[in-house]
């Protein structure tokens, strides 16, 4: 739309009668508006400086490294500044688009920015490829220079990619086609999902409010929402099947060219975690299914006076639960209070998200579903997206995303190249923030019934984080393995989905018609294949970490902030060592799972 100037923040807040004013983020710290002259100027600057960077350094890095480590460090600093500039543009476009993925103006802007950044970044694609061709002895000698030694963690990380690096022209082709390949299918998924409507009691609802009804106190309402979801997912099954088949094949092509042995090895490499560590986690969780999810859902069925419960009752509030909607101000004070009791510094950082317009909280049509914390770039600050609807789980989601945000703020001084944290450790601060908030609420509750409800809610969240995510990982493995033998029908994918659901959730859950399509709305399968195990990794890690915190006499907070401040500069083994934890030890995972089991034990004892 020519001449249309969509504001960066449509309003400072959005009102809800029960929840009170909900904040809408202000993206002005990135750019004033999508059509502001600053956006155009920075796009032109990115293209110009990327081309100039290539002219200065392409084909010369080995010579530079042999001549001067300081000179190579100067080139990396230039690259880092370019990365920050292009990251600012990409972040702004992504966040602006997330505010309403159905708006044609935002869709076009997002697509145009991606295209232009792909063109600009093609100039600098050579840089890491060429760094990886520098002889080890030459680079080791250059690293004696303190300026270059600063970048040792980043250089070590990119050199782990060497066995899977392709010839430069092939890498360029992969890079340039990303926007019309996987990126385009990701965008199709987002826009399709945002445009779906679900009919409940003659009301046409977007995804998030419909999913919210699955936790309504009224069973009939939950059933209607579940069936509405299944009906719409079923009607759109062909497009989600095509998206899934295409992306799985696209990944198989990339993995084959790069020489990855296992379908998840590319994710493990990106996460800087060893395959056997992930395999140990998966095995430990799957072995614990009967002691965790099977046992808990059987107990929940008894609370409802049944032998089995329908799938739409799995996350239902307990019969005597307090189902009031929690106002935004109360959610804010609850989370910040829990953070403050752990560390005033943590609460101060989290408080900035509320005070400085870094949160977008209302659920609205077209907005990206779910929740996330986006780090943007070190020269700016993170933003948090929520779809806040006043449930206790929404308060925990706020605690979770603010944990990410605090982590991202603390890691930012490492710079654009070393601030990003591998996904396995990226979930540490978020899950720890949830645990702090839960423990705070539990300690404040001296009522037996209230304590049982809080414990049950926490167990359900942990099962969703650990058991469900490992089941999701198993589902992805089945889909990607089967896709290598040929294209899958929608029904075949649905069957694979159901096979992991029954195994992971147990016999106390009854899966009715429609549930077989619920795989269609999980965005991680589309955007980040095999991402999901990071949630289980983070939850089990935090359970062990929190046990250390409860036993520590002093000094834990300092070590914890050092872990978060490290960003991507250290391997998980280095970061966990000060706490006496080792993720390669199977006992580490059993210890984390034992925390969940202990909560279930307490619930069973209270029921007896």
The per-residue pLDDT for 293 is 97
Q: What is the pLDDT of residue 503?
A: 96
Q: Where are the alpha helices (DSSP H) in 484-571?
A: 490-505, 523-527, 533-551, 556-565
pLDDT digits (tens, 9 = 90+) for 277-328: 999 999 999 999 999 999 999 999 999 999 999 999 999 988 877 778 999 9
Distances (CA, A) of 115 to 217, 224, 550: 46, 42, 50
Q: Does 9 score more than 50 pLDDT?
A: no
pLDDT of residue 424: 74
- Does an H or E element contain 401, and which? helix 392-411
Q: Is the pLDDT of residue 13 over 80?
A: no
pLDDT (mean) for 58-79: 96
**Other beta carbons within 10 Å of 162:** 12
Residues 171, 124: contact at Cβ < 8 Å? no
pLDDT of residue 540 exceeding 60, the answer is: yes
**Tokens matching residue 422:** 């591998």
CA angle 135, 136, 140 (to 5 degrees): 120
Diameter over CA atoms, the chain: 77
pLDDT tens per residue across span 134-151 = 999 999 999 999 999 999
Show the tokens assigned to 561.
């902030």
**C-alpha–C-alpha distance, residues 12 and 399, integer Å:** 21
pLDDT digits (tens, 9 = 90+) for 509-528: 999 999 999 999 999 999 99
What are the structural domains, with CATH classification, of the chain?
A: 30-180 (1.20.140.70)
15 pLDDT tier (thresholds 50, 70, 90): low
* Cβ atoms within 10 Å of 85's Cβ, excluding its own: 21
SS3 assignment for 367-378:
CCCCCEEECCCC
**Is 64 in contact with 72 (CB distance < 8 Å)?**
yes
Residue 318 confidence (pLDDT): 86
Average pLDDT of the chain, as a whole number: 93
Q: Is the CB of residue 299 less than 8 Å from the CB of residue 607?
A: yes
DSSP 359: E
Higher-pLDDT residue of 301 and 6 is 301
Rounded to whole angstroms, how far apart are CA atoms 200 and 213? 9
Question: Residue 199: beta bridge partners?
Answer: 204
Joined together, the tokens standing for residue 444 give 């404040």
Q: Which two tokens stand for residue 77?
A: 């600093």
3-state secondary structure 51-82: HHHHHHHCCCHHHHHHHCHHHHHHHHHHHHHH
Q: What is the pLDDT of residues 156-165, one digit of tens each?
A: 999 999 999 9
pLDDT tens digits for range 81-119: 999 999 999 999 999 999 999 999 999 999 999 999 999
d(CA 501, CA 491) in angstroms, rounded, equals 15
Pair of tokens at residue 174: 């992969």
pLDDT at 3: 38
Q: CA 266, CA 256: separation in Å to the nearest integer?
A: 11
Q: Are 279 and 537 in contact (CB under 8 A)?
A: no
Local confidence band at 608 (pLDDT 50, 70, 90 cut-offs): low
The vertex-335 CA angle with 598 and 367, nearest 5°, equals 105
pLDDT tens track for 436-475: 999 998 888 878 888 888 899 999 999 999 999 999 999 9
Residue 551 has pLDDT above 90, yes or no: no
Q: Output the pLDDT for position 2.
A: 33
> What six digits make up the tokens of 508?
């106390």
pTM comes to 0.86
Q: Is the pLDDT of residue 5 over 50?
A: no
> How, if at all, do strands 359-362 and 383-388 pair?
parallel
User: Among 112, 86, 318, 284, which residue's Cα sits nearest to residue 215?
Assistant: 318
With a pLDDT cut of 90, the percent of the chain lying above it is 83
């Amino acid at each position: 739309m020519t001449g249309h100037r969509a504001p960066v923040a449509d309003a400072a807040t959005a009102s809800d009668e029960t929840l009170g004013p909900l904040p809408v983020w202000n993206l002005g710290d990135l750019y004033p508006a999508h059509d502001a002259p600053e956006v155009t100027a920075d796009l032109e600057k990115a293209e110009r400086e990327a081309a100039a960077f290539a002219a200065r350094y392409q084909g010369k890095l080995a010579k530079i490294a042999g001549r001067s480590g300081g000179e190579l460090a100067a080139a990396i600093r230039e690259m880092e500044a370019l990365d920050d500039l292009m990251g600012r543009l990409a972040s702004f476009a992504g966040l602006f688009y997330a505010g309403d993925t159905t708006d044609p103006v935002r869709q076009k802007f997002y697509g145009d920015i991606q295209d232009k950044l792909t063109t600009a970044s093609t100039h600098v694609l050579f840089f890491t490829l060429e760094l990886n061709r520098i002889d080890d002895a030459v680079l080791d000698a250059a690293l004696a220079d303190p300026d270059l030694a600063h970048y040792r963690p980043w250089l070590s990380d990119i050199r782990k990619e060497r066995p899977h690096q392709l010839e430069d022209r092939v890498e360029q082709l992969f890079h340039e086609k990303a926007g019309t390949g996987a990126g385009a299918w990701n965008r199709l998924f987002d826009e399709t999902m945002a445009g779906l409507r679900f009919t409940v009691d003659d009301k046409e609802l977007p995804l998030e409010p419909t999913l919210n009804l699955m936790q309504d106190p009224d069973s009939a309402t939950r059933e209607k929402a579940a069936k509405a979801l299944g009906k719409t997912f079923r009607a759109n099954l062909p497009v989600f099947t095509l998206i899934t088949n295409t992306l799985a094949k696209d990944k198989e092509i990339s993995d084959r060219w790069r020489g990855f042995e296992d379908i998840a090895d590319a994710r493990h490499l990106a996460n800087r975690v060893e395959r056997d560590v992930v395999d140990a986690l998966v095995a430990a969780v799957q072995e614990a299914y009967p002691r965790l999810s099977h046992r808990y859902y059987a107990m929940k069925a008894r609370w409802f006076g049944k032998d089995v419960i329908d799938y739409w009752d799995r996350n239902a509030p307990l019969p005597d639960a307090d189902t009031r909607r929690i106002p935004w101000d109360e959610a804010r004070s609850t989370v910040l209070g829990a953070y403050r009791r752990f560390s005033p510094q943590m609460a101060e950082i989290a408080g900035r998200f509320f005070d400085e317009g870094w949160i977008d909280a209302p659920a609205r049509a077209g907005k990206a579903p779910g929740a996330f914390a986006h780090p943007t770039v070190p020269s700016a600050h993170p933003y948090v997206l929520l779809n806040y609807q006043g449930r206790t789980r929404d308060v925990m989601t706020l605690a979770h995303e603010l944990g990410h945000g605090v982590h991202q703020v603390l890691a930012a001084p490492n710079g654009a190249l070393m601030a990003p944290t591998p996904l396995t450790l990226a979930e540490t601060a978020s899950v720890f923030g949830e645990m702090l908030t839960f423990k705070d609420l539990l300690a404040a509750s001296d009522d037996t019934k209230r304590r049982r409800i809080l414990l049950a809610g926490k167990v359900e969240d942990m099962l969703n984080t650990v058991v469900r995510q490992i089941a999701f990982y198993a589902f992805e493995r089945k889909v990607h393995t089967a896709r290598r033998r040929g294209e899958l029908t929608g029904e075949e994918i649905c069957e694979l989905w159901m096979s992991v659901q029954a195994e992971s959730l147990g016999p106390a859950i009854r899966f009715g018609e429609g549930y077989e399509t619920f795989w269609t709305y999980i965005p991680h399968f589309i955007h980040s294949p095999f991402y999901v195990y990071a949630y289980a990794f983070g939850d089990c890690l935090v359970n062990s970490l929190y046990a250390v915190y409860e036993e520590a006499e002093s000094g834990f907070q300092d070590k914890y902030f050092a872990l978060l401040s490290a960003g991507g500069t250290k391997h998980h083994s280095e970061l966990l060592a000060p706490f006496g934890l080792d993720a390669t030890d199977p006992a580490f995972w059993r210890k984390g799972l034992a925390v969940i089991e202990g909560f279930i034990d307490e619930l069973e004892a209270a029921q007896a």
